[in-house]
Structure 1
Amino acid sequence: MQPAYELATILNLHWERANEQLALNGWQWRTLHAIRRCRTAALGGHIDQCDSCGHLRISYNSCRNRHCPKCQGQQREAWMAARQAELLPIPYYHVVFTLPEAINQLALYQPAAIYGLLFSTAWSTIQSFASDPQHLGAQTGMISILHTWGQTLTLHPHLHCIIPGGGITSTGQWKSTRCKGKFLYPVKALSSVFRARYVAALRKLFPEQAREFFNQLFVTPWVVYAKRPFGGPDQVIEYLGRYTHKIAISNHRITGVDAQTVQFRYKDYRQAGTQKEMALSVVEFIRRFALHILPKGFVRIRHYGMLSNAIKQTTLTTIREQLTPMQNRAQKDEHTTELSVPIEAVCPCCKKGRMQHVMDFDHRGPPMEIVNRTTSMIKSTH
C-alpha cells in the first residue's frame, strides 16, 4: 500500500525554506537532495519487460541512499538472505546498549567519534564477559546495528546487538552459555562495565571537557537492556528484517502535511507503547530528520568476534561440524524461512513472469515508441 505522504514531497515543497533556516553540513544537504530526487526523472530510469507475457514497465531510478525511506527494501532482503545462511541451531540473544542524554551534545558535533566508541565499547564489554570462565570462557560473536533516533525523531543513540548463546574455546570447541536460556550475562554488571569503559575512553577523546561533565555521567545508571532469547532462527530473521535497514522515520508514519507543519505517528513507550500523533513545523521536522544522517562512510552494521567477516566462514563451519546432525536437520526443517521474491520482480500483468531489465534512459525520459507501446498495452487491459 502506497503511503499518503512522503519525505521526498516534504523536502521538495519546502527546500528553499530549509536552505534559508537550517545550518546543516554539506553531507547532510547532499543526502537530503538525493532523497528528494529519488525515483524521479532527475535520476533517469529503466525499462523492464516480462519474460512471459511481454508486458513493459517504465520505472525511475532510486537514489539508493541508506537514509531514504524508499530504498531499503531490496538491500534488506539481500542482507537478510546472507545472514540466514550463517545462522546456527543455538539460542541468540538481543542486547541493547543506550547512551545517556548528557552525551547528545557531543554526538551532534562529533558523531563519528561518539558512535564509533559506542560500537567498540559495547563489543569490549561483551567480549570481557564471554572470556571470563565464570560466564562462558570462550570467544563469542556479535552483530551490532546502530540506531540514533527516538520515536519523535529526537537524538537517542543506541546499539541493538544480536549475540549467540555460546562461543569457541581456545582449543576450538563450541561451548554454550551457562544461563540455560534464561539470560546472557548479568545486566547490572554489564551496565556498570559499559559505563566505566565508555567514560574512560571519552575522557581520552575529549580531554578539554570539564571534570564535572564526566562526573555527571556516573550520577544515573546507564541502560543495558537484555531481552529474552529469540525463540529460534525464524525470530532472528524477523528481527533483522525490522531493524537492520530501518531509518529514522518511514513514509507510512507521516499522516499529514500542510504549508506549515508535518504530522506523524509515534509510540509513547512511557505509556506502554500507546500510539500518538505529533505535529512539528516543517523546518523542525527536516532538522530532526537530518540529525540521523550518519557521517559519510560510517558503517552502521558491524560484525565482531567469531561472526566477523574475516573469520566467520571458518568458525561457523567448525561449529556446525561439532553440533549433532540431528540439530542441524531440525534447524533446516523447522526454522528455515524462504525469503519471498521481491514484489517488483513479479509481472503486474500476468502475475507469473519475471520482469527483466531491457533498457536504461537518462533525465530526458524513455524513447517515445516505448511510451506509446506501454500506453497501448495499458489501454488494451482495461
Structure 2
Amino acid sequence: MEYVSGIKLRTIFLHNGNWWKLFIKHHNLIRIDIITNVLKLLVCRTSFLGYHLFICPKCHKTIKVPHSCKSRFCSSCGKKSTDDWIKNRFDTLPNTTWQHITFTMPSDFWVFFWYNRYLLNLIPALAANIIKDLSKRNGFLPGIFLAEHTFGRDLKRNVHVHLSTTIGGLSLSYDSWIKNAYFYHDSLKKMWKYKIITLLRNEFKQNRLKLPPHLKYIKTYSAFYSWTTQFYIKTWNVFLNQQDNNMKHNVDYLGKYIKRPPIGETRIKKYDAKFVTFEFLDHYTNTKNLMTLPVLEFISRLIRHIPDKNFRVIRYYGFLSNRLSGKLLPIVYKLLNMKNVITKKVYTSWRQMIMSVFHYDPLNCPSCKVPMLYSYSVFQVSSNLISMHKEIANGYFQLI
C-alpha cells in the first residue's frame, strides 16, 4: 500500500479561513452535500467524529483512535475505499479479456448537467445500454461496470463516463461463454451522440430542462431541436483502450482511475497562502503540466465535483448488475473455470493500514509492548457538523 503524502487539503481549506471565506461569498450557490463533505474532511481522524479507546492491560495506559470521515472527497478515506475496492473486485470479477471505453461529449453540453443535476443519474445507463445492445446483436450478455466523472485532470468541468466491459460474455441461453467480440469505434460514437442529443431534446420537450443564461433566447422545441442538430456534425470523442486479459493490471488500473477523487494530495505541489499549484496529466500531449490557481478558485473548482448524497458513482450492468449477478456470476465462474472464488468482501482496517505502511502495530502499548485492549467507543452525530460549521471552518476543534 502506497503512503499518501503531499500538501493536505485540510491545511488549504483551514488556513486563513479559506473555506469560510468562500462559503460566505457564495453560500447561496453551495449545495448542502458539498458543505457536509467539506466538514467531514476537516474533522477526519479527529475526536470530533468520536473515537475508540484502547487500554493497556498491564500499565493501564490509554490511547484514543479517532474515527475517519469515510467521505469520497477525503483523499485518505478515498484511497482506503479504492484499495478495498481493488481487493474485492480482483477476487470477484471474471478472469477474462476486458476493454476500457471512455465516452465524452462536447463542452457545450456540460453546462446542462450543472443546471439539471438529475441528468447525471441518466447518463450511465445510456452508455451501458450501447454496449448491451451491441452485445445482444452478437448473442451474448456482457459484464459491465462504469463510473461517471464530472471533472478533468485540470479540475475543470468535464462530464464523461469511464466504462469497462468484458470482451465477450454469457450466451443469451446462459449455457456458454462467447469469446472474441469487438466493438467498432464509429458505431459507439454514433450511438452515444444520438443518445445524448435525444436525452436533452426529450427533457426540453417535457419542460424539464433548465437552460443556462446564454441559451435563454431559445423558447420553442423546434428552436432547441435546431440548436442541438449542429452537434451531429461536430467531433465527439469516444476512446477505446486496447483489450487486456491481464486481470491484475485491469483491476489495479481501473480501480485507481475510476474510484479516484478529483485530486490526490500527491498532485498538490505548492501552497503559499495565496496560490495553489498542482500537477495534471494532459491526455492530448501525454505530458505532466503544472497549473497555479488562486486558493479560493482552487477550492471552488474542487468542491463542485462533490456528488449529491446517495449518488452512485460506480454502477454495474449486464451479468454484473445487482439484479442478475447473484444468479449469473456462479455460471460465469464455472464457464471460465474459475475455482475457489472469494465472494465475501474484505475491508482494510486502520490498524492493518498502519502495519502495512509503517511496519509496526499501533495497538501495542509503547511502554509494555503488549497488545492493548478495546475499552469503549464515543460516537458523534453527523448533524452536529452543520450546526458547528463556523467553528469547524475556523479550526476550533480538537485534533485528538
- TM tier, smaller: 0.7 to 0.9
- Number of the residue aligned with 1:225: 239
- Number of the residue aligned with 2:157: 155
> Structure 1 residues 188 and 298, CA, compared in 2 at 3 Å: closer, same or farther?
same
C-alpha contact 2:268 2:276 (8 A) present in aligned 1: yes
Aligned-pair CA distance for 1:247: 0.3
- Number of the residue aligned with 2:134: 129
- Number of the residue aligned with 1:142: 144
- Number of the residue aligned with 1:17: 21
Aligned-pair CA distance for 1:353: 9.0
C-alpha contact 2:104 2:236 (8 A) present in aligned 1: yes
TM-score by length of 1: 0.80
Aligned-pair CA distance for 1:54: 9.9
Aligned-pair CA distance for 1:355: 7.9
> Structure 1 residues 298 and 54, CA, compared in 2 at 3 Å: closer, same or farther?
same
C-alpha contact 2:150 2:159 (8 A) present in aligned 1: yes
Aligned-pair CA distance for 1:308: 0.7
- Number of the residue aligned with 1:90: 96
> Structure 1 residues 356 and 291, CA, compared in 2 at 3 Å: closer, same or farther?
farther
- Number of the residue aligned with 2:398: none
1:248-282 Cα deviation digits (max 9, x unpaired): 0111111222232111111122322x222111111
- Number of the residue aligned with 1:343: 353
Secondary structure in 2 matching 1:72: helix
Counterpart residue identity of residue 30, structure 1: T
More relative contact order, 1 or 2 (CA 8 Å, 6+ apart): 2
The CA RMSD over aligned residues, in Å, is 3.1
Pairs aligned (count): 345
C-alpha contact 1:166 1:174 (8 A) present in aligned 2: no
* 1:66 aligned onto 2:83: no
Aligned-pair CA distance for 1:306: 0.6
Aligned-pair CA distance for 1:361: 3.9
Q: In the alignment, which of 300, 303, 308 is matched to residue 316 of structure 2? A: 303
Secondary structure in 2 matching 1:84: helix
1:303-358 Cα deviation digits (max 9, x unpaired): 111111222132121123233x4xx46x98xxxxx998842356048799988754
% same residue: 24
> Structure 1 residues 116 and 339, CA, compared in 2 at 3 Å: closer, same or farther?
closer
Secondary structure in 2 matching 1:104: helix
1:79-117 Cα deviation digits (max 9, x unpaired): 33332232223211111111221111112122231x222
* 1:118 aligned onto 2:123: yes
Report the Cα distance in structure 1 between the residues aligned to 2:82 and 2:54, rounded to whole angstroms. 22
1:200-229 Cα deviation digits (max 9, x unpaired): 122111236623431232231322111112
Pairing 1:345-364 to 2, within 5 Å after superposition = 347-348=361-362, 357-361=374-378
TM-score by length of 2: 0.77
Counterpart residue identity of residue 195, structure 1: K
> Structure 1 residues 282 and 309, CA, compared in 2 at 3 Å: closer, same or farther?
same
Q: In the alignment, which of 249, 271, 275 is matched to residue 235 of structure 1? A: 249
1:219-247 Cα deviation digits (max 9, x unpaired): 31322111112232111221243124210
Where do 5+ consecutive residues of structure 2 fail to align? 208-217, 219-223, 381-400
Pairing 1:134-283 to 2, within 5 Å after superposition = 136-179=138-181, 184-207=182-205, 210-272=224-286, 274-283=287-296
C-alpha contact 1:123 1:142 (8 A) present in aligned 2: yes
Aligned-pair CA distance for 1:196: 0.6
Report the Cα distance in structure 2 between the residues aligned to 1:353 and 1:194, rounded to whole angstroms. 60
Aligned-pair CA distance for 1:40: 2.4
